Amino acid sequence: MQKRTVPICLAYQVACLAITGVVAAARGEVLFEATSPYHNIRVEDRAGYRWLTFDGTLQTRMSLRDPLAGHFEYIEYFHLPWLWNTQVSQVLMIGLGGGSAQRQWAAWYPQVQFETVEIDPVVVRVAREYFHLQTGPTQRVVVEDGRMYLRRSRQSWDVILVDAYTENRYGAFIPYHLATREFFEIVRDRLSTNGVLAYNAIGTLNAWHSDVIGSLHQTLKAVFPQVYLFPASSSQNIVLVASRDARRRSLVELEQTARALLRAGHIKLPEFLHRVRNLREQPPSHFSRCDLLTDDYAPVDGLLTRGRRASR
């Protein structure tokens, strides 16, 4: 069977409007603009923030007064893996953008080895020059395709974070090869015994808008024993957390762990407990009807059609 190469866009054109406010209506001071093999990249300062856009879609926001502030809410859900593994020492992230997660982890968990894989070298340059990304002994950036890097590597990580998007004429989408069962099998095999995956996606949990989330949930469930849903409060981002631990954690247990981490000063994120409480304890029932995504079968066209029809 011939592999389908169309990306898993899945109504992202509509959903992206809600993720981050999308394209800025009023332009600020443009600091950088260039076209790479992957994006038209633009950096500008506006209203006290530094903004990064790919092809007109907002990717990163950073406060000019405090580089650890001004980020989008979903970035804070990348701290959730500490709830399943309180001894994290090795982290891999696929996707760099403006480096919001990297800045936080470098500042708050300096003992953690944090490695980032980013396919676009221009994005790496922009993150270093305009968004305070600092590489060194505990912060490393590799320019390569994320799946290819994982497949070639024999290293084990305690946490793998995925926040990778690209653009085409339909809008923003998850790259096809980073959303299939085969990809998640590679991720699972590169995680340590108590390893955790946190995966950012755009969508909703409503029946007619949730094809992408439902399909990702079903696909992750085919690979990992436990999958958790954490919808953001202020956008259509939903972070899916997949654990190698077969035991299901309740919200009460996760809250208890979160309080202990906060009391010990291990977690310094002020809204951490609120993020934990956004857990959707049971997935919507219609998720069971969503498609399993594989390298050979990704029903992009049908999902796109349903997403567009539902958004009208």
> Phi first, then psi: what are they for 92, rounded to 5°?
-120, 135
Q: Token pair of 109, please?
A: 């968990």
Picking from 152, 122, 104, the residue whose alpha carbon sits closest to that of residue 268 is 104
What span, in angstroms and rounded, lies between the C-alpha atoms of 19 and 32?
23
What's residue 203's pLDDT?
86
Helix (H, G, I), strand (E, B), or coil: what is residue 64? coil
Domain chopping of the chain, boundaries: 13-21+68-311
Evaluate whether 137 touches 161 at the Cβ level (below 8 Å). no
User: What tokens appear for 56 in the block?
Assistant: 């007109």
- Nearest-angstrom CA–CA distance, 207 and 91: 34
Question: Phi and psi at residue 105, in whole multiples of 5°?
Answer: -65, -40
The answer to whether 132 and 160 are in contact (CB under 8 A) is: no
- Token couple for 182: 């085969």
Say if strands 90-94 and 171-173 run parallel, antiparallel, or are unpaired.
Answer: unpaired
* 13-21+68-311 maps to CATH 3.40.50.150: yes
pTM: 0.88
Helix 300-311 to helix 211-221 angle (10° resolution) is 140
| DSSP element (H, E) containing 126 | helix 121-130
- Between CA 164 and CA 171 the distance in angstroms is 14
Sheet bearing 157-162, strands edge to edge? 139-143, 113-118, 90-94, 157-162, 191-202, 237-243, 226-231
N-terminal to C-terminal alpha carbon distance within the chain = 34
Helix, strand, coil % in the chain, rounded to nearest 5: 35, 30, 40
Per-residue pLDDT for the chain (312 aa), expressed as one digit of tens each?
433 333 444 444 334 433 433 444 456 899 999 999 998 999 999 999 999 999 888 999 999 999 999 999 999 999 999 999 999 999 999 999 999 999 999 999 999 999 999 999 999 999 999 999 999 999 999 999 999 999 999 999 999 999 997 665 556 678 889 999 999 999 999 999 999 999 999 888 886 556 889 999 999 999 999 999 999 999 989 999 999 999 999 999 999 999 999 999 999 999 999 999 999 999 999 999 998 999 997 654 344 334 434 433
Q: How far apart are CA 296 and CA 23, in angstroms?
A: 34
Cα 307 from Cα 294, distance rounded (Å) = 20
